[in-house]
A and B are shown apart, each in its own frame.
Chain A
């Protein structure tokens, strides 16, 4: 059977024929990949084949080059590169020759997939030349130009910009050539505009040059005036992205063109066009919010800002607000969650504008609110409430106070509006009010009607109920914080609040929320999640006089978890399991939040049962994970993540009493620690280890040998995500503090590890890597601290013998501290840890260390941290300074 026939059959109506065909193709690939790919490329190129067959050949070719799974994708790429050069050239040539011979180009994709593999490997160097020639060549057919531009677009979309920036000139030439208004064929123009959209990231060097930038901007602006909607929209998308990437160059164009273009676009009858106009201004706002933050930071550091805000948004405010509020009245009758159109985009734009413009927004929007909040037309009522909700974040809350005070009764009333859209928006707005002016809403005159409105709202349509739940979440903390501040304690976590304004309603609210989580339609609009979240917030923020309800709820939550587990054991389909997993996750998180509130005396009563539930969750999940993984894998790990966090809460709650569970828990813990590919599980297990150390102290000793081996493996494993490693290093400090001198046996390896880890270097131009470096260094400093403190002992006199054993490491520690102190990328958090370690060393080794510690680099660091805004850094620096001065005083005396 020829491959052409097989490809035909692969689209057959007959299922068995189809399967046979697909198996045949798979076999062909397995038996002789090179031969198979060569054949596919021939079929693709041959214009005598049907469109169907050619497309199918292109698809098969793609399947051998690309996968959604990133590690499979890597393997496919490696495999392609092992194919002999001659064969690859043949296949590539066929693909290139196909460009322009199809109506819908599969070849464009094939070219792109190969390019994404070869270009980063430094191969196929002449590709761009060929593609550019295709576009610029007068003789090229429009179809060829279009396909070529599509190929360029795909490449730009998928490749790391670094590999293309060297060729940005060629690429831009091709694209701009296709985009010009002289281009008659609108398909070509569209493909070019879309390609430009994908290439904007790596054309920075062209944007840096005035003449080139002017030209690009001119072509883009012209394209926005094109009559074809597709091209217009793509060109507007380009403007949005350009604004985001090249804000600093926009001043000239803003006045001359961009304002007018986007203003007109926002007013357009065509939804896609209006949407992009609004997105443009949302982006301007976001940029300017960021710049304002940057400016503030630079000012604090005494540096000039690199880019300064031109306050376009504030300037355009009087023009933007009328259009945005008008757009808000164009709601869809039936709201589809996945819809995204001008009305919703206008909401977000107005919110961003408020954050950007601050107080100025209030006067601009308020007339609209007042005029329409009692309108006969629900669209206008909704738009009025919506715009009120939008402007709550940004202006100074004090300036909003009287405004909110007047509007709140109306909005509470609107919770009962005949329109479900209005009810929904009102519930959302109340949540916003609670976040902005929490103290105001919990006043008695508002509280009663509000609670009635909200509780009723829990029974409404899922969408409305979900927004009501979020309002409850905000209300819970608002009410609790009010009680805390009345009790006069600043630290809300240590405070024991006796009662609060919701105490009288606590039980019914919690009951109603529990009911809501059980509603038939709770799966829609995230209602179940929102309800559980509200429940958690209520429980977390409950005063003492609601303890009985909290206890009762704990039992209900445990009961629910148990029955779910019974069901889960019997489930077959992964879809059902995924749903159940999410539910387990929520219940587990709820359990975790009550564990933090349970009295220490009551904890032992439920500990056995909780332990059983959590162990079952952890082991059940492990069984599932060994089954073939599919898309739900992520959600499964969510359950384990939450189970581990709940376990940490239980450990924290039980303290030393947790020891009786260690034997049963150990195997589970070890296997979680070994989950190298499940980053969060691994991370949470490592975190839990810390809590175990603090709770059990020396009694953790019998388990540490085995755990230690795993920790060291984690550190050297390439399979482990980088983010886990700092946590592992920090865990050494927990070990050392718990074991004291018992840590001795691990010392050599740990010190060795720390000395290596503290040398790690990263690319400082990449902010993510700088963050990572700081995290890693903080972990190393913590670990050193743990070791010094642990070995020194807690008694009045340091354990001199143990301390002597790490004496050789003291100098490297000081070097490390100095390195951190000198590095401009060090954050105050890291510097604070460094100060702490310095103080620990000084208290441990005493006056011997004074000469070394007197180095300017240390005093400069201490001084900087004493003035830090980060309270930990400040505390530690002051403490260390005192310790050093004490020693100096003793010495001079």
Chain B
């Protein structure tokens, strides 16, 4: 094939190539032997200028243009068809695409961060089939879109230079997406929890343009913004953590001053959770102050990480009462809230959490299996009645 292409200049004089039984065998040659078109002769310059006079050349041009546009539309229709298959279209709620195993796997991973444990999310008394039905079907798009932490099991050597600390308020971990004039929040599994207007770019009818994607904690009255992934036209997923935080802390409020207030156009305030250096002297200063909100835990972000989906070792998690022990620093008394009476040290405590999680997961999957069996029997019964 390659040699055919190289021979291009001699193609004019080459004899017909040997025929091959395979119908497409000479395809490659027929494709590669692209006709050598000459560059447009320059003597046309004046002709070209003539067609630019008033609307003189327009009729012919428009004809060509009109047909070209139509073909372009066809191309677009193909792209749309493919996008459909990729479920790229937003708000694709109607397709029943919940793969249950997949869903379980999501939840089996560490539940360390936030108080959003399996117990509260999956096994509450009212979480019956009906209530699941009431909530909108999870969209695949918004499932597993949050960057989740892992337990901090050892102190990294470069903690002081490479990590940033954020206090994590109590509440529900949510993904906030403002687009096309409406703001929506999704839980970790991609279920839409709330829909409301906000002054985030794209978030209300007046600010339709742009797209905002935030990683937040929802404390039932405000959103605490942990991280920012998209702002207006700016994609931040691939930017380093330090830069995203810097961006969040400087540009966010500046470019949308009203988002931290409660207004008719911004129904819930967005409050920024500030990041702090892990340098020892800074921490000493900061940890002795009273935390600004009831704490769920403390997050350690690696400065150089990009925003990834799911759990990552680049974000560490500790309960507030573990800090004194782990860092060897004195903390404000509010950090000790929730300290178990039988606390035997941080690593043991982490293991206790993990054990609980495994139990919960087991119970959850058994419960789910049971429910599925019941459902099956029910539907079999109904079938037999119809028969």
- Identify the A interface with B (CB < 8 A): 120-121, 160-161, 197, 200-201, 240-241, 244-245, 279, 282-283, 286, 337, 340, 344-345, 347-349, 351, 424-425, 428, 431, 466-467, 470, 488, 490, 526, 529-530, 533, 536, 585, 589, 592, 638, 641-642, 645, 648, 652, 680, 683-684, 687, 690-691, 694, 712-713, 715-718, 722, 725, 730, 733-734, 737, 749, 752-753, 756-757, 759-763, 766, 768-769, 772, 776, 782, 785-786, 789, 794, 796-797, 836, 839-840, 843, 863, 866-867, 872, 874-876, 878-879, 882, 885-886, 888-890, 892-893
Contact = CB atoms under 8 A, between A and B. Distances in A.
Interface stretch (B46-54, B261-269, B317-325): B46-54
What 4 pairs between A and B have smallest CB-CB spacing? A889-B310, A761-B5, A529-B59, A526-B59
B31 to A, nearest CB: 4
Nearest to A886: B144
A782 B78 contact: yes
B351 interface: no
Contacts of A782: 78, 82
B53 A797 contact: no
B353 interface: no
Contacts of B59: 526, 529-530, 533
A694 B45 contact: no
B235 A241 contact: no
B105 A890 contact: yes
Contact of B52 (A351, A713, A733): A351
Contacts of A889: 109, 144, 309-311
B99 A488 contact: no
B86 A879 contact: yes
A550 B12 CA distance: 54
Contacts of B5: 760-763
B55 A760 contact: no
A867 B235 CA distance: 8
B88 A344 contact: no
B83 to A, nearest CB: 8
A756 B24 contact: yes
A650 B59 CA distance: 25
A130 to B, nearest CB: 24
Contacts of B36: 160, 763, 766, 769
Contact of B311 (A424, A718, A892): A892
Interface in B1-34: 1-2, 5, 8, 12-13, 23-28, 30-32, 34
20 contacts: A120-B12, A161-B38, A201-B39, A241-B43, A279-B46, A283-B45, A712-B23, A716-B30, A752-B24, A756-B1, A757-B27, A757-B28, A760-B5, A760-B28, A761-B5, A763-B5, A766-B36, A782-B82, A840-B86, A889-B309
B35 interface: yes
B96 A886 contact: no
A361 to B, nearest CB: 16
A763 B8 contact: yes
B78 A716 contact: no
A37 B53 CA distance: 47
Contact of B30 (A715, A730, A789): A715
A652 B86 contact: no
Contacts of A737: 81-82, 85
Contacts of B208: 488, 490
Contacts of A776: 31
B171 interface: no
B272 interface: no
B348 interface: no
Interface in B57-76: 58-59, 62-63, 66-67, 70-71, 74
A735 to B, nearest CB: 12
A690 B30 contact: no
Nearest to A466: B55
B205 A691 contact: no
B55 A722 contact: no
B71 A279 contact: no
B209 interface: yes
B181 A691 contact: no
A241 B45 contact: yes
**Which of A121, A687, A733, A872 lies at the interface centre, i.e. has the most chain B CB atoms within 10 A of its CB?**
A687
